[in-house]
Amino acid sequence: MKADNEQRMGLLYGMGAYGMWGLVPLFWPLLKPADAVEILAHRMVWSLAVVGIALLALRRWGWLRPLLRDRRRLGLIAVAATVITVNWGVYIWAVNAGQVVAASLGYFINPLVTIAMGVLLLKERLRPAQWTAVGIGFAAVLVLTVGYGRPPWISLVLAFTFAVYGLIKKKTNIGGLESLAAETAVQFLPALAYLLWLGSRGAADFGAHGAGHAALLAATGIVTAVPLICFGAAAIRVPLSTLGLLQYLAPVFQFLLGVLYFHEAMPAERWAGFSLVWLALTILTWDALRNARRVRAEAARLAAEARAAAAADSPPEAPAAPETAPGRRPEPAA
């Protein structure tokens, strides 16, 4: 029962995280004229402030000392912080440069990249449908490369960085709030130094465009912390395959925003590439659901066989003594 509740909570956390990420392209344009690097630096600084306040309120500091003694986990945290910094920076730049559709493609192909990483890094064996999906995804990248006239580097960088980030989060196995605190602590000093340098040159946008703009830059901490905390909480509660299914929510919202709200161009070759990606994801989802049903059926069969074997091995009950008529002594056995 406890495991079911944990998975249910993980599912809700995951839906919340990916739903918020799907709508975040509406937020970054509000921070102009600040450029992507300055926005990124504010995001790092204010995120640590937000999670620090949350940890103080909850009095959750017991994780810190064991983490500081574990060099392996500290190294993983540093790598995670570096990878997510690249992901954040490219995403902010892409949205504010009118490349929301390209950014959405990165998160569409992320499950395919995660599977490819499983084969290359973890030596996992793929089922035929998974190989088919990966092959179609590779073909989609080729089609989009021809359509763009260059490899879709925004999409590929976002897909690979977030796949690596998800893998590291799984290995560190730290709560969402604690993990984000550790990662933003790694980012904090370089980001703060950059902002101070901008201010010393008179090139900082913080405070130069009114209190409202400054408040929005400070709100990057909340916009960053809340979905990442939810994602971290989901990553340690549900299987990676479930996260792969949930993360379709974010690119769907982003794609719709890019086409319907930001009115980005979608020429025929781009539709063709996206259609191939969606076909690959459909095959991948169908295979995952079919395999999950097969695993559940096999588990039920093994459980039934175990119960039958246990019943067969149990000693038979002793036969009841024969009843005798009242007042009559039982006859001795021959």
The predicted pLDDT at position 96 comes to: 94
Q: Tokens 């991948």 identify what position?
A: 284
Residue 223 lies in a domain: yes
- Tokens matching residue 111: 């499950």
Cβ atoms 282, 112 nearer than 8 A: no
The predicted pLDDT at position 333 comes to: 40
With a pLDDT cut of 90, the percent of the chain lying above it is 34
Residue 180 lies in a domain: yes
Cα dist. 192→46, 55, 226, 310 in Å?
10, 21, 21, 65
Whether the predicted model's global pTM rises above the 0.85 cut: no
Cα dist. 315→132, 192, 310, 318, 321 in Å?
53, 73, 10, 9, 18
Helices 153-172, 71-96: inter-axial angle, 10-degree rounding = 150
Q: For 228-287, what is each residue's pLDDT tens digit?
A: 778 777 877 877 667 767 778 889 999 999 999 999 988 898 899 889 989 988 888 888
Cβ atoms 64, 131 nearer than 8 A: no
The predicted pLDDT at position 4 comes to: 67
Q: What is the mean pLDDT of residues 300-315?
A: 76
Output the CA angle 115-118-119, nearest 5 degrees: 95
- Tokens matching residue 293: 């049903």
Q: What is the mean pLDDT of residues 161-173?
A: 84
DSSP 8-state assignment for residue 26: G
- Tokens matching residue 298: 């096999």
Count of domains forming the chain: 1
Residue 322 lies in a domain: no
Q: What is the mean pLDDT of residues 304-329?
A: 64
Residue 310 lies in a domain: no
User: Where does the pLDDT of residue 329 fall: very low under 50, low under 70, confident under 90, or very high at 90 and above?
Assistant: very low
Residue 328 lies in a domain: no
The phi, psi pair for 152, rounded to 5°, reads -75, 75
How far does Cα 221 stand from its chain's mean position? 19
Helices 71-96, 176-200: inter-axial angle, 10-degree rounding = 60
How far does Cα 9 stand from its chain's mean position? 14
Residue 159 lies in a domain: yes
pLDDT at 170 exceeding the cut of 50: yes
Residue 248 lies in a domain: yes
Closest CA to 247 of 6, 2, 16, 3: 16
Range of the domain at 147: 1-200+217-301
The predicted pLDDT at position 241 comes to: 66
Residue 70 lies in a domain: yes
